[in-house]
Structure 1
Amino acid sequence: MRQMIAGNWKMNGTLAGLSAYASALRQGVEGVDLLVCPPFPLIRPLIEALGDASIWVGAQDCDAKRSGPHTGDVSADLLAELGARHVILGHSERRADHGESSTLVRDKARAASAAGLVPVICVGETEAERDAHETETVVRAQLAGSLPDGFSGLIAYEPVWAIGSGKTPSEDEVEAMHRAIRASLKKQLGEAGEAMPILYGGSVKPANAETLMRIPEVGGALVGGASLKAEDFLAIASAAVRD
């Protein structure tokens, strides 16, 4: 199965830097899928800068409603109209900084799917939950609450304590969690859960990408800071290509 390397720019990036970034990224990497999720205002300009390159552009969030008095929010329908293909939902920074519950994430996933977007649902434990040996319990609960019936999309496992910290779980820990997530997906979704891609995220960089991407059940990566430099992003993508 081809792996997906998704870049989450978070609140970074500028119009001035798009041309050079897109030019570098258009070189691409054979045998792997690339997705870049910039801030809302950069979605359409990035799509135009990439031209006919086989690289998807997505969003970092969407509202659960299609329209209405929701100042500052963006609907999934508008994102699709702009040309977005995917949308990241339930990222730990949204859950923590904006108080998003799994129920809200599930409602957003429904809205995204209805608009034709592919949801990328994020799950992961905090350091305190990890220290309390609650990782699997927490992640299973997030999956149970965040995935609507008939969900079709991707899952991103991002241990919160690893994001931007330079720390990553051991290979055994990553494999164990991805296998636990796979088991939960099959229980919730049946046959659809057997092949659903599970990305790993949390301080993914060129130096550790090859090791992480070859762990069983890891179907790609959700990359934060390293996705802001095209050469680093492409290096991670190269490491994900299966022999």
Structure 2
Amino acid sequence: MRKKIVAGNWKMNTLPAEGVELAKGVVAGRGEVCSCVNFIVCPPFTHLAMVAEALKGSDVALGAQDCATEAKGAYTGEIAASMIAALGCKYVILGHSERRQYYGETSATLNKKMAQAYANGLIPIYCVGENLDEREAGKHFDVVKAQIEEVVYNLTEEQYKNLVIAYEPVWAIGTGKTASAEQAQEIHAYIRQVLTAKFGAAAQETAILYGGSCKPSNAAEIFAKEDVDGGLIGGAALKAEDFLAIGKGFSK
């Protein structure tokens, strides 16, 4: 059985005290959702220590939104994978579309970040996905395949066992266009096919999350699809009630 995962990417939102309250809200309501669902919260770097404290004693995991390409040194403003691991993070989001789009992250960058994550015992949530122009040009399969082949194909079999993939239809975020559950299943199945070509049967165990405007109203429909194993949640993760309701999408 593949893991069912609902991960909250808080992005650059909340102040530390607000983040603590949000985390406490998730912990307080966690018991209302099937224990088969794995919850992860990914606050800003500034919140990690405080949120880790708020999560103590619960099974809600902590993740970071990024890590540096280097282990340590004269890299002002960067946060090493070892630092976030030391604060209790189990996961790290890598290759998010916003990092690719706004900060020029390439496959070369991400290969270095993946290596740092694994060297420090972190599980990467590796993001792939196409933008609107690429989708409309029918290039979405090619784009996603390249993003996987250029990074994930470089992993060892052992590393690959500790990997989560998140598919983000960038074209469906803030554009007024919506990805249907069928479109989500189509691309998730394709991603699993690309992973199978390299890693064989192990690809059947890889959790592939949907990251495009998933909310309480559509979670059950999307999660019902065979190759959708959960969600990487943005805006809806900023309210504990909504975040938990998305998790309940698995039990409907």
* Shorter-chain TM-score above 0.5: yes
Given the alignment, which residue of 204, 208, 213 partners 1:198? 208
Deviation at 1:166, TM superposition (A): 5.7
Q: Which residue of 2 aligns with 1:36?
A: 41
Which moves more between the two structures, 146-155 or 114-123? 146-155
- Asked if 2 retains the 8 angstrom alpha-carbon contact of 1:59 and 1:79, the reply is yes
Q: Which residue of 2 aligns with 1:83?
A: 88
Deviation at 1:167, TM superposition (A): 3.8
- Asked if 1 retains the 8 angstrom alpha-carbon contact of 2:10 and 2:238, the reply is yes
Evaluate the alpha carbon distance shift between residue 97 and residue 127 of structure 1 in structure 2; reply closer, same or farther with a 3 A threshold.
same
Q: Which residue of 2 aligns with 1:12?
A: 13
Q: Which residue of 2 aligns with 1:134?
A: 139
Question: Which amino acid in the other structure matches residue 19 of structure 2?
Answer: L
- Asked if 1 retains the 8 angstrom alpha-carbon contact of 2:81 and 2:116, the reply is yes
SS for the counterpart of 1:69 is coil
Q: Where does 1:59-70 land on structure 2 (aligned, <5 Å)?
A: 59-70=64-75
Percent of aligned pairs sharing the same letter: 44
Q: TM-score, normalised by structure 1?
A: 0.95
For residues 166 and 219 of structure 1, what CA distance do their matches in structure 2 show?
25
For residues 57 and 205 of structure 1, what CA distance do their matches in structure 2 show?
21
1:97 and 2:102 equivalent? yes
SS for the counterpart of 2:194 is helix
For residues 34 and 164 of structure 1, what CA distance do their matches in structure 2 show?
25
SS for the counterpart of 2:202 is helix
SS for the counterpart of 1:221 is strand
Q: Which residue of 2 aligns with 1:216?
A: 226
Question: Which amino acid in the other structure matches residue 155 of structure 2?
Answer: D
Given the alignment, which residue of 105, 123, 132 partners 1:118? 123
Deviation at 1:76, TM superposition (A): 0.6
Deviation at 1:189, TM superposition (A): 2.1
Q: Which runs of 5+ in 2 are unaligned?
A: none
SS for the counterpart of 1:34 is strand
Number of positions where the alignment pairs a residue of Structure 1 with one of Structure 2: 242
Evaluate the alpha carbon distance shift between residue 66 and residue 18 of structure 1 in structure 2; reply closer, same or farther with a 3 A threshold.
same
1:183 and 2:183 equivalent? no
Q: Which runs of 5+ in 1 are unaligned?
A: none
Evaluate the alpha carbon distance shift between residue 166 and residue 23 of structure 1 in structure 2; reply closer, same or farther with a 3 A threshold.
farther
For residues 212 and 70 of structure 2, what CA distance do their matches in structure 1 show?
30
Given the alignment, which residue of 49, 55, 69 partners 2:60? 55
For residues 164 and 239 of structure 1, what CA distance do their matches in structure 2 show?
23
Deviations 1:57-91 (A, max 9, x none): 10000012100111111111111001101000000
Q: TM-score, normalised by structure 2?
A: 0.92
Q: CA RMSD of the aligned region, Å?
A: 1.4
For residues 213 and 117 of structure 1, what CA distance do their matches in structure 2 show?
25
